[in-house]
Every structure is written in structure tokens, then in C-alpha cells.
Structure 1
Amino acid sequence: MPLHVYQDRKRLKWDNGFMISEHTAMMANEKKEREFIWPAKELMTKDEIDRILYEAKLKNRAVAIQKEEMNEEGLYSPDVTGKIQGYDELGVFISGQKVDYDEIRSVEFFEEKKWSDLS
């Protein structure tokens, strides 16, 4: 009985996009987050912003800050969330990102969900 030499299909077998379901679900979730339209929050006064930032720093609470800037489509970016890591005369540092005081449109306390929370 003659042996048949296996012919590898080379790239053909990989071009069909074999992906595991977890990866596909993750990509779909990221696309949904990118397409989400962040609504404009109520414009707060400087005193209201200062009061909430002061209390958040004092009590070590997380905040969600909506910046005044918009993207090229005229939509707001996602909120900057986290605990205040530091501050200077120009702004605050949250989650490794500096947010200048004059960029803040709205700030509110934020409840961080634990990774173990299934709800």
C-alpha cells in the first residue's frame, strides 16, 4: 500500500479565523463599549467640584470624572474613574492619569465593583 504525502494547506487553514468563544465574546464586548454614547452630565460649579474632590480625598473614596473634552464625533469620552492618587495646583491624578481642574465637567462618587461580584 503506497503512502500518501500529506499536503499542508499552509495559510488557508488559518485564514478562516479560528477563534475561541471567550475571545470572540471579549471582542464583541469591547466593540459595544466603544460604540456606547456617553451622555452629557450636568455642568457643575467649581465649588461643587471642589467639595466632592475634597471629600473623596479625605474619605479615600472613588470618583467618576467627566471631562469637558469631546472626540471628533462630538461625543464625550468615558469617565475617568478611581481613587485620587495625588493632586497639585493644576489638577488631580486618578488611575495614573492627570485631570486638570479646568477640564472637569462633572464629578460624582463612584462605587467600584469587586471582581467577585456576580450581579
Structure 2
Amino acid sequence: MKNNFNDIVNNFFKNYQDRGMKKWQGFMLSDHIATLNRDKEEKTRVYSEKDAMSETEISQALLQAFANNKVVSVQLKEKTLDKKIQPDIVGLVKGYDEDKIIIGDTEVELSNINNIQIN
């Protein structure tokens, strides 16, 4: 009986062809398309330039946000390679390092800030 079972199992695996990734393709494809659509939407989004603020106004807003533990949205002066406005950097003001402000996990040069809004 045991020998017969081993023969059946061995025979099964000799003729068995695993579909491999084919069985997962439908799942992966839908996630991949959703990610590509999100990326495409993000790349085609156009951000408008906000009014420029003075360095004093920016410093006061940063100090107020830091003191009150508020989230800020920071628009940079620096544009992308194709001359578009970058998306705002959003986060808590965590501190500073020389002339750089730490917002969330991003270091931003004070001179590169165009506009700041306290959320």
C-alpha cells in the first residue's frame, strides 16, 4: 500500500505543471495599474504658486507652529526640472540645524521657502 501511494505521489509531481505567477497576475495587475494611475495623476497635477512671504513672516510662522505643535504646509521657491511648482511639504516643525528647518523628515533651507501656512 505504501509503495503504491509513493508511486501515485511521484507520478502526480512528474506530470504536475505549476501555473507559477499566472495565478497571481490578476491580483498584481490591478494593484500595479492603481499605482501607475496614482503616479500619473500626481505627475499631471499642477500646483499654483502662492504669494511670496518675507523671511521675517516665514520665521514668525515657523516659530508659532513650533511653539504650538502645529502642522505646516511649506511651498518651496525651487521648481522641478520642467519649471513646475513642487508639492507642498507638510509636517510638524521639529527643529532647525544652522540655516535649515526640519519639517517632518525633510530638511528645508530657510532661504528656499516661498510660503508657509499653519494648518
Q: Does 1:106 align with 2:115?
A: yes
Question: What's the secondary structure of 1:82's corresponding residue?
Answer: strand
Amino acid at match of 2:60: R
1:53 to 44, 62, 84: 62
- State how far apart, in whole Å, the 1-side matches of 2:18 and 2:68 are: 63
Bigger radius of gyration: 2
- Hey, what does 2:95 align to over in structure 1? 86
Deviation at 1:10, TM superposition (A): 9.2
Under a length normalisation based on structure 1, what TM-score does the superposition of the two structures give?
A: 0.72
Under a length normalisation based on structure 2, what TM-score does the superposition of the two structures give?
A: 0.72
Percent of aligned pairs with the same residue? 30
Query: Gaps spanning 5+ residues in structure 1: where?
Result: 111-119
Amino acid at match of 2:102: F
User: What does 1:1-119 align with in structure 2 at a 5 Å threshold?
Assistant: 18=26, 19-110=28-119
Q: Deviations over 1:42-100 (max 9, x none)?
A: 10111211111011000000101111101121111111110012113302111211101
Comparing both structures, which one devotes a greater share of its residues to helix?
2
Count of paired positions = 103
- State how far apart, in whole Å, the 1-side matches of 2:93 and 2:105 are: 9
- State how far apart, in whole Å, the 1-side matches of 2:107 and 2:79 are: 17
- Hey, what does 1:116 align to over in structure 2? none
Deviation at 1:37, TM superposition (A): 1.1
Amino acid at match of 1:41: K
Query: Gaps spanning 5+ residues in structure 2: where?
Result: 1-14
* CA RMSD of superposed structures (Å): 2.4
